[in-house]
Structure 1
Amino acid sequence: MDKYQTASSASNSGSKALASLFQRLLSPSLWVLIVSMLAALFVHYSVEPEWREHKTVYQVYTNDTGALAYMNRGKEVLIGTPIPYESSALRQEVLDTLQGKPSSGHWVSERDNNGNITYSFLDAKFHFGFWSLLPALVAISLCLLTREPLTALLGGIVVGAFMLGRYDITDAVLIPSLATESAAGVLLLYLWLLGGLMGIWSKTGAAQAFASYMTKHFVRGQRSAKLVTWFLGVVFFQGGTMSTVLVGTTVKPLADKEKISHEEMSYIVDSTASPIASVLAFNAWPAYIQALIFVPGVSFLATEAQRLQFFFSSVPFSFYGIFAVLGTLLLSLGITRFSGQGIRKAHHRAKTTGQLDADGARPLSSRELQIPQVPKGYTPHVLEFFLPIIALIGIAVGTFVATGSPQVNWAFGFALLLAALIALGKGMTLNQLLEGVGEGLKGVVLASIILMLAITVGAISKEIGGGLYLVELLGGTIPYWSLPFFLVLLTMITAFSTGTSWGTYAIIFPLAIPLAWAISQQGDITQPMLYMSICFVAVLNGSVFGDQCSPISDTTILSAMTTGCDLMDHVKTQLIPALMAMALATSLWTLIVLFFA
């Protein structure tokens, strides 16, 4: 009898193992990856890249020594001796007959319609047609199918590497990408500084002390807690990663104490980051973007000062940023009509059951950062949270006012040092402090790896020419009134596929603004500057939307990480209210162009 039961049990175990293996073989995500890898190999060996002339016009001047130069981030850069454009081997008509790879980029000079000499850097970029979108599509599809961003991003990287013929993923793709300045910045800020600071706050109980203080003095329930979050998101209007990290880190203990769902908090944090930065644009955005919108012959875009003035004069039309921030305000006030069914379900779940995450959720923030481990005899104080936060904000804003660019690393580094000194001064031992730092690093290491992989897949998508192909696809002859809509669509897809708004700006602005000017001169438009402003904010806001909603975006990942939300739960619940805001904004832009331009 025992032998029969043992044999039967072994048989059942074997059947279950075979069934599990069969189920995995039928997994849609596995087949998506396999088919995509085969397609990538097909592209590498069978599809010829399509080379395109890529011209970037700079505002070049002659310096005191007689050399040609331009300004880049406040520094003078010499350009050497340009060659006539007509002599360049990188002109499109030459590239159309090219066999093999083109030469490297160089500076060229040419005369515009008014006889003035303009200077530009000319190089060649390529795309594989629709295939150029494959790495980003794979990463996004696997994210949606598996709810696992790590493997999804790795899948996108492998597919992109195969398309480029780089089969040594470690040495030819990952190491070069991780050796970049962007990856080093991610490692320093989001792993060491942010992780260390959160670990110290967890060890000292400072975050919980802050939550208790705010609850006692300012918060009277979920509504006031969410309003505090919204207010901080507006105050930290530098945008992007800085805002998400500051606000998410500050409000998470408060929100958890008030039993607010993580989906709601991540939505508020994310939608008051880049959207508010496009409205309260007293940050690094105008200085970066103005260099991308120079168009020869356009008087109001001729100098840096005029381009900055054009930027700020266009801000009142930044409707998506305005509606996105208003949407989070309505949610904070308890008005969920415009928040989408996902947000409403999450709100109801947390309110009735106290469950902050959906069933099966896998939050990016680890348990080490959610459960305080205060040593015996150590009494937490709210100033242990307030002082580092005040120092952090003060340094970030102060350096922005002084230099024009917030020094986020300085701010977080000083806050980490201050938090450590306060803990040591109050009697915590060095071993206990380092234990807290270690737990903090463990808590954010997964999200930091995901961020670095997102940088890699974005770089591969850009190298393969995904954005360039999209511009060609949508940049043909279109009615003037539909251009804002097409620019929104183009930038949304590009930013969503690459996970970056600033990278999208670098791709789209040099193409979209000259196109908008050319269309405005065709005779149907009586207010060309207004038309240019609408097209400008369409690119500005469309890129913000795509970046904000992309599962491979750093701000999306950080919003989920700092609030303790499952990444894909955040992406899915945020998408509906963001789409509603963008639909309303695009409708207004189209109406303005039709009736006022």
Structure 2
Amino acid sequence: MDGYGILTLVPVLLVIVFALKTKRTLESLILGTLCTYIITDGWGFAQGWMDAFFRVATDYSHEWVFMVCGLFGSLIALVGASRGTLGFSRLLERLCKGPRSSMLLTWVMGILIFVDDYLNIMTLSTCMRQISDRKKVPREALSYIIDSTGAPVCALLPFSTWAIFFSALFFSEPGVAELGYGNALQTFYHIIPFIFYAIAAVLIVPLFISGIIPKIGRMRKAYDRVKATGQVYSSESESLNFEDDEGAEGTEGSLLDFVLPIGVLIFLAIFTGELFLAVTAAIGVCFILYLPRRRMTFSGFCDLAMHGFCNMIPTVAIIFFAFVMQEAMSDIGIAEYVIHAISPYMTASILPAVVFVAVAILNFSTGSVWGVPAIIVPIIMPLANMLGANLVLVMAAVVSGATLGSHACFYSDATVLTSSCCKMQNMDHAFSQMPYAAMAAGVSFFGYLACGFLM
């Protein structure tokens, strides 16, 4: 195919190598996007880069993400200042006798909050961070559990935003409706048992908590740090925790100040399907609940809301440039390059395994959880039809690859949000969970390979 050949992969490799070397996510993405437009536009790269920048900045769906992240920062700051988080965490702490029970409760709650991965990550980190700190659970372990019950759980349940997106994406493809499973969502029900990565990622967590799967790499170093110093986060994350005093001795927290705003948030997210509306309403509930009871003044409320919003700016900046990276990878044609490179070697039996790997690599490369499937499904599904491959397996492999990308990519929105809400450096979280994501990926690959030959 016409294009940039092997140069298509250079920006992605540059981002990964630079991030591994410097442990800096934002700077790596900026460098990667600039490199992409140098390849595509030559000396005119500045114009191409600026065009991508403003396409991202003016896109409605991107603006939605930025505003939801910022408003969640406001909500977290308000609930924390009211001591509502402390009141709720002390209630939950009765169930948490030690580190393992704290982590297990986090895992269970992560499964229960299944509507949206953003909602899952932000709500769960608000609930459990203080408890985990008091039980001396490393932040690396907490963020791993929260991230593993974000996208993976959403991918497995037919009531989530993931199910709605993927069911609509697949059902429009030739041959899918002819499977005879009914409408788009009913078809997705039949895919769920074969979304191997999401299943493996969720099930590995309790094995990790129980010690059946050992602490590996950066995670082991985190546990050694806690054992030696009692510090639950690394020295690089200290600057993110200067204001983290919600659990100070002698303070009191009202359960109502947490349960009512967060309850409204979850209720509206479930029944309206609009997270922006839900988080805005939750902030409104905080206003009505806190001011008449003098939990804070009007000026204090406004200052806290703005302060919390501003605290999310570093997170929004990384997500913004992750979106610019998506634009850059689309402009350079990485999806088409990879698909055309592997398609001559496809057979019906190995197609599901190869699709899983290809989607995972593309998602990891671009940080685009839903963008990559939207691009390659119209290419993959006709190829699967032509080869006579099992369409259910192929669709499940696409969802699994997207889930792996969301879970493991160090600049995906889910990874960045998790590290931000857990108040730790992004690369600490990304590196520490990588071995467990790799385990789930290995199980998934061999699962698709075996099913491809047997089904």
TM score, norm. by length of structure 2: 0.91
Structure with the larger strand share = 1
Are residue 435 (structure 1) and residue 314 (structure 2) matched? no
Offset at 1:497?
Answer: 0.6
Q: Does 1:186 align with 2:65?
A: yes
Matches within 5 A, 1:410-559: 410-427=277-294, 428-520=296-388, 531-559=390-418
Is the alpha carbon distance of 1:307 and 1:415 closer, same or farther for their aligned partners in structure 2, counting shifts above 3 Å?
Answer: closer
| Aligned CA distance change for structure 1 residues 589 and 329 (closer, same or farther; 3 Å) | same
Cα distance 1:562–1:568, how it changes in 2: closer, same or farther (>3 A)? same
The residue that corresponds to 1:75 in the other structure is none
For 1:189 and 1:465, locate their aligned partners in 2 and report how far apart those are by CA, in whole Å.
30
Which residue is equivalent to 1:381?
254
Equivalent-residue separation in structure 2 for 1:578 and 1:564 (angstroms): 21
CA contact 1:271–1:328 (8 Å) conserved in 2: yes
- Matches of 2:263 and 2:89 in 1, distance apart? 16
Structure 1 residue aligned with 2:242, among 367, 372, 378? 367
Question: Which residue pairs with 1:579 in the alignment?
Answer: 438
Distance 1:158 1:371 in 2: 40
**1:409 to 2:261 alignment:** no
Note if 1:288 corresponds to 2:174.
no
Q: Provide the rounded CA distance (Å) in 2 between the counterparts of 1:493 and 1:443.
A: 31
Aligned partners of 1:171, 1:195: CA distance in 2, in Å?
A: 28
Post-superposition offset of 1:327: 1.0
Please tell me the residue identity of whatever aligns with 1:206.
G
Distance between the aligned counterparts of 1:435 and 1:169, measured in 2? Answer: 38
Q: Which amino acid aligns with 1:424?
A: L
- 2:269 corresponds in structure 1 to 396
Residue 271 of structure 1 and its aligned partner are, at CA, apart by: 0.8
CA contact (8 A) 1:227 1:329 kept: yes
Distance 2:52 2:238 in 1: 28
Letter in 2 for 1:142: F
- Work out whether residues 199 and 436 of structure 1, in 8 Å CA contact, stay in contact via their aligned partners in 2: yes
Deviation digits for residues 86-126 of structure 1 (CA, Å, limit 9, x no counterpart): xxxxxxxxxxxxxxxxxxxxxxxxxxxxxxxxxxxxxxxxx
Supply the AA of the counterpart residue of 2:195: S
Query: Separation in 1 of the partners of 2:158 and 2:418?
Result: 21
Q: 1:581/1:431 Cα in 2 relative to 1: closer, same or farther (>3 Å)?
A: same
Q: Give the distance between the partners of 1:338 and 1:130, measured in 2 at CA.
A: 38
Please tell me whether residue 225 in structure 1 is matched to residue 102 in structure 2. Answer: yes
Q: How many residues align?
A: 449
Shift in Å, 1:319: 1.7
Asked if 1:129 corresponds to 2:5, the answer is: yes
SS in structure 2 of the partner of residue 432 of structure 1: helix
Aligned partners of 2:164 and 2:252: how far apart in 1? 46
Aligned partner letter, 1:554? D
Amino acid at match of 1:148: R
Shift in Å, 1:393: 0.7
* Contiguous gaps of at least 5 residues in structure 1: 1-49, 52-126, 400-405, 521-527
Does residue 356 of structure 1 match 2:232? yes
Alignment of 1:13-24 (within 5 A): none
The alpha carbon displacement at 1:196 in A equals: 0.9
Which residue among 206, 213, 216 is the counterpart of 1:337? 213
Q: 1:516 to 1:339 in 2, by over 3 A?
A: farther
> In the alignment, is residue 310 of structure 1 matched against residue 202 of structure 2?
no
What is the letter of the counterpart of residue 233 of structure 1? G
Higher helix share: 2
- The offset of 1:450, in angstroms, is 1.2
If the length of structure 1 is used for normalisation, what is the TM-score? 0.70
Q: Work out whether residues 287 and 301 of structure 2, in 8 Å CA contact, stay in contact via their aligned partners in 1.
A: yes
Amino acid across the alignment from 1:176: R
Query: Is the contact made by 2:359 and 2:401 (CA closer than 8 Å) also made in structure 1?
Result: yes
Quote the Cα distance in structure 2 between the aligned partners of 1:504 and 1:490.
Answer: 10
Residues in 1 aligned to 2:262 and 2:377: alpha-carbon distance in whole angstroms: 36
Structure 1 CA distance for aligned equivalents of residues 239 and 13 of structure 2: 22
Q: In the aligned structure 2, how far is the partner of 1:312 from the partner of 1:288? A: 13
Q: For structure 1, which segment, 287-296 or 550-559, has the greater mean C-alpha deviation from structure 2 after superposition?
A: 287-296
- Compare relative contact order (CA 8 Å, sep 6+) and give the higher one, 1 or 2: 2
1:551 maps to amino acid: F
Instruction: Return the alpha-carbon distance in structure 2 between the equivalents of residues 306 and 128 of structure 1.
Output: 40
Q: Which has the larger radius of gyration?
A: 1
Taking a change above 3 Å as real, the CA distance of residues 506 and 433 of structure 1, as seen in their structure-2 partners, is same
Among the aligned pairs, what percent are the same residue?
Answer: 26
Residues 421 and 366 of structure 1: is their aligned pair in 2 closer, same or farther, counting only changes over 3 Å? farther
For residues 158 and 109 of structure 2, the distance between their equivalents in structure 1, rounded to whole angstroms, comes to 16
Note the C-alpha offset of 1:500: 1.9
- SS, match of residue 97 in structure 2: coil
CA distance in 2, matches of 1:379, 1:169: 54
